[in-house]
Structure 1
Amino acid sequence: MAKSIEIEKLALSIETAESAELSARLGAALSERFGARAEQTFSILARGEDGALIGGVNGLTHWRWAYVRHLWVAESWRGQGLGARLMGEAERFARDCGCVGVYIDTFERRVAAFYETLGFAPVGEIADFPPGHSRISLSKPLR
């Protein structure tokens, strides 16, 4: 005989105790199967002479991989090597943490091409995400 269950749908704009519990339970199951995530967040910032933020990278390390969640360079600093320098610092940080690779994603083909010049290789793509574009995932092993 099938058990009766109740499905509750929640639209959340903030994390609730229930969503935190779901996250914790999944995290425990994944750790049991694959080992501890050993998650660590990081940020690498670039500032101009006046102290203003001109670029940066943030992300996290887990399971011996670094995920670059965001790379941003101020418009006036683009094309001058700052993005490559920031990515180099992110790779250095990943190596120092014992990571075996770095991964990143983008919605723009020209940005994916930039990452490829840094040694990243495409590993997947989701079409029409966001609508009319693609989400391109790339990775780079660290030797």
Structure 2
Amino acid sequence: MDTKTEFNIEPCNKDNIKVIVDGINDYNLSKVPAIASIWTPLEFVAKDENGIEIGGILAGIGYWNGLEIKILWVKDGYRKKGVGSQILKHAETIAIQKGAEIAMLDTFDFQAEQFYLKNGYQAIGEIKDFPKGHKRIYFSKKLTK
């Protein structure tokens, strides 16, 4: 028996976004209970001796104590000098102290594939030819004390 449902699709406003986020969170938590009650931001900036930003990380720990790395950036001229590795290690250390047991992220082959491999991450999947001629790679790493 086919049931048809009438509905409209519209652009979201802030209230709609909250309903969507709350909806998926409620569903997820009905399947797997949370270990942590909230998103814990782990956002750090590295500055040179003049106070100029030379790098940073935007990450956080979610419901199931996973460190989710959204962005790690290092300014040209400071790359391949250990700055990124130090920023990453700092975030991982804080995450471990807060109970995180795994880290996850994605990057592109033209960004930081080798960087994450060098820092102990394992490629767990990829999307080939996205963007055209490249690949998006998904990484994870077990965090240990």
Could you state the TM-score of these two structures normalised by the residue count of structure 1?
A: 0.88
Partner of 1:95: 96
Deviations, residues 30-87 of structure 1 (Å, cap 9, x unaligned): 1121112532122111001111111001111111110111000010111111011111
Quote the residue 2:25 is aligned against: 27
Aligned to 1:134: 135
In 2: Cα distance, 1:131 partner to 1:10 partner = 30
Which residue identity is paired with 1:30? N
CA contact (8 A) 2:101 2:142 kept: yes
Which residue does 2:6 correspond to in 1? 6
> Aligned partners of 2:92, 2:15: CA distance in 1, in Å?
35
Amino acid at match of 1:50: N
Does residue 60 (structure 1) correspond to residue 50 (structure 2)? The answer is no
- Offset of 1:2 from its aligned partner? 4.8
Aligned-residue Cα RMSD (Å) equals: 1.8
Q: Among all aligned residue pairs of Structure 1 and Structure 2, give the percentage whose two residues are the same amino acid.
A: 28
> Contact conserved, 2:46 with 2:56, CA < 8 A, in 1?
yes
Q: Give secondary structure in 1 for the equivalent of 2:112.
A: helix
Q: Which runs of 5+ in 2 are unaligned?
A: none
Shift of 1:19: 3.1
Question: 5+ unaligned residues in a row in structure 1: which ranges?
Answer: none
Distance 1:19 1:57 in 2: 25
Count of residues paired in the alignment = 141
What letter corresponds to residue 25 of structure 2 in structure 1?
A: G
Alignment TM-score, normalising by the size of structure 2 = 0.87
Question: 1 or 2, which has the higher helix percentage?
Answer: 1
In structure 2, C-alpha distance between the alignment counterparts of 1:93 and 1:81, rounded to whole Å: 18
Runs of 4 or more, structure 1, over 3 Å off, are 1-4
Residue 49 of structure 2 corresponds to which residue in structure 1? 49
